[in-house]
């Protein structure tokens, strides 16, 4: 039996988590005594694992400083989540898209730079957990664009690369898909531009969740 698998990035694709990410990065930089980072640069790094994102923001920093930022970021994000102040709104049309795909027989997955705990909280908050058959995070895999998360997702549901699509808003997602021969579809409501997604190998770029459903039908 053929299994069709749609793997989604999270931040910038399912939810708009940029404010929470930027706030936590501001807190982390302040904690170690650095000037606050450029928010545009922080948004550009969303999708990478946290250590890789910090390395992109501070390429010349030593590992001790990067480690301090990593710990401070995680502490800030956890405190925000546990206080109930974390806001990661779903993009309009995403629940309907996921329900339609699930109802038509697609297996659904997530491949994200979030932690296991962060992804679980995000999906539970929006009542989406039961729709997904495979969840892959930066806690258990190398950072995007390494294809390990996609490999694990396909193994979980017994899908083949030719029956799998990676859906995301950054060139990291498109590069990851291309690295393993999976169809790559970008979305234009996230953090990298459509031109960047096409240049990175996107087969198409959706302009809305309804358009994305058309592309997958």
Give the pLDDT confidence of 116-130 residue by residue, as tens digits. 999 999 999 999 999
pLDDT in tens, 76-132: 999 999 999 999 999 999 999 999 999 999 999 999 999 999 999 999 999 999 999
Q: Please, where are the H alpha helices in the chain?
A: 18-31, 39-45, 50-57, 63-83, 94-103, 116-125, 148-157, 171-180, 194-199, 209-216
Q: Assess whether pLDDT exceeds 90 at residue 13.
A: yes
Query: Which overall architecture, per CATH, does domain 5-16+88-216 show?
Result: 3-Layer(aba) Sandwich (3.40)
Domain ranges for the chain: 5-16+88-216, 18-83
**How far is the C-alpha of 179 from the C-alpha of 177, rounded, in Å?**
5
The pLDDT score that the predictor gives to residue 1 is 74
- Per CATH, is 18-83 categorized as 1.10.150? yes
The pLDDT score that the predictor gives to residue 44 is 92
Mean predicted confidence (pLDDT) in 167-188: 97
Q: Assess whether pLDDT exceeds 90 at residue 163.
A: yes
């Amino acid at each position: 039996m053929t299994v069709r698998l749609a793997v989604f990035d999270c931040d910038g694709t399912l939810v708009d988590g940029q404010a929470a990410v930027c706030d936590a990065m501001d807190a982390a930089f302040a904690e170690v005594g650095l000037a606050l980072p450029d928010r545009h640069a922080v948004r550009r790094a969303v999708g990478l694992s946290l250590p890789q994102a910090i390395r992109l923001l501070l390429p010349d920093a030593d590992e001790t400083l990067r480690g301090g930022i990593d710990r401070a970021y995680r502490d800030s994000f956890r405190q925000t989540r546990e206080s109930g102040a974390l806001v990661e709104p779903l993009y309009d049309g995403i629940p309907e898209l996921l329900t339609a795909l699930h109802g038509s027989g697609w297996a659904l997955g997530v491949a994200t730079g979030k932690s296991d705990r962060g992804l679980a909280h995000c999906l539970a908050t929006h009542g989406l957990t039961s729709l997904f058959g495979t969840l892959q995070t930066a806690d258990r895999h190398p950072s995007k664009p390494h294809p390990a998360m996609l490999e694990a997702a396909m193994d979980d549901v017994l899908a083949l690369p030719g029956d799998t699509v990676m859906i995301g808003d950054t060139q990291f997602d498109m590069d990851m898909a291309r690295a393993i021969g999976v169809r790559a579809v970008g979305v234009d409501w996230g953090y990298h531009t459509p031109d960047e997604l096409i240049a990175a190998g996107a087969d198409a770029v959706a302009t809305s969740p309804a358009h994305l459903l058309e592309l997958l039908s």
